[in-house]
Amino acid sequence: MLTLERPRTTAEAIDLLAGDAESRVLAGGQSLVPLLTLGFAEPEMVVSLDRCAELDDLTIEEPTLRAGAMVTTRRIELDPLISQRCGLLAAAAAKVGSPHVRNFGTLVGNLCHADPGSDLIPAALCLGAEVEVRSSRGSRRLSVDELVEGPFVTSLADDELAVAAHLPLRSPSWRHGYRKLALRVGDLAVATAAALVRLEDDTVAEARLVVGGALRRATRIGRLESALAGTVASEAAGVALATGWIDDLAGDLLPDAATPPEYLRAMLPRFVAATVRDAADPLRDEDRYGQREH
């Protein structure tokens, strides 16, 4: 029989996970509850974090922003601290599912679920976020790359609780772009692209690029990041289109009936180039301002 435990502290939750029962952590329940209902997950015990008030904190701990395990996607979308200092994550959060899913689902739960169609995993990876993990054996910090191993597979042990995400605070010289392609509004992504660029005058000094959705797991595009460094900002999208980085990802593509490999190989470079343009092109803000005036 399934037991539900609702500890009031992180320490109690960790003690419960250290016990013999086969257990699962419940955060916002947006993914776990359907899995339980359909019988795809059959733990002996569910450890709900809903009463652990200490996991609801969003605090600046320079040089990062610490988001506790119960901070919801809605808060990530709307909190001014996030939009000012981690704008890329706020932009990605706004694309998640529906208001209902954002109100209940959590950032950390989303990372731990490791869905390839996630919006928050590529944004967190692009930002350089880390997840703080605790168990009765100690604590450790994992980069998003170390946490997410493949579709719905993470490196977390059964007794480990992810207590927070640490999001590097980025200066205003970093600009972002985030795009999502989904078959229907509210669906998980067919493809995502996250871009961060640091401009010096009109030149890209540094760039971080991630592609997700269409891959087994969200992946940084190292070849394109290097190619963009030193590029004039208005030419960055052209570089993203011309650099043959898609060949590096060929083995990791995650095609399905609606999105065959040929489609992904043709679409992704254009999709990423558009995201790079969103982030890097200094004319972009003027364009948007102009559009708003009409």
Whose Cβ is closer to ligand FAD: residue 42's or residue 286's? 42
Does residue 212 interact with ligand FAD by CB under 6 A?
A: no
Whose Cβ is closer to ligand FAD: residue 87's or residue 97's? 97
Instruction: Name 140's bridge partners.
Output: 133
Q: Within 66-125, which residues bind ligand FAD (CB under 6 A)?
A: 69, 73, 96-97, 101, 105-106, 108-110, 112-113, 118-120
Q: Within 6-45, which residues bind ligand FAD (CB under 6 A)?
A: 24-32
Closest distance of CB 241 from ligand FAD, Å: 26
Label the pairing between strands 45-48 and 3-5. Answer: parallel
Rounded to an integer, what distance in angstroms lies between the CA atom of residue 276 and that of residue 294? 25
Closest distance of CB 283 from ligand FAD, Å: 30
Q: Within 249-288, which residues bind ligand FAD (CB under 6 A)?
A: none
Sheet holding 130-135, edge to edge: 58-61, 64-68, 161-168, 130-135, 138-143
Max Cα-Cα span within the chain: 64
Whose Cβ is closer to ligand FAD: residue 118's or residue 231's? 118
Whose Cβ is closer to ligand FAD: residue 76's or residue 279's? 76
- Contact residues for 23 (Cβ-Cβ < 8 A; gap 6+): 16, 17, 43, 44, 45, 46, 47, 158
Instruction: Name 197's bridge partners.
Output: 175, 207
CB atoms within 10 A of CB 243: 20
- Chain residues in the site for ligand FAD (CB under 6 A): 24-32, 69, 73, 96-97, 101, 105-106, 108-110, 112-113, 118-120, 156, 161-162, 188
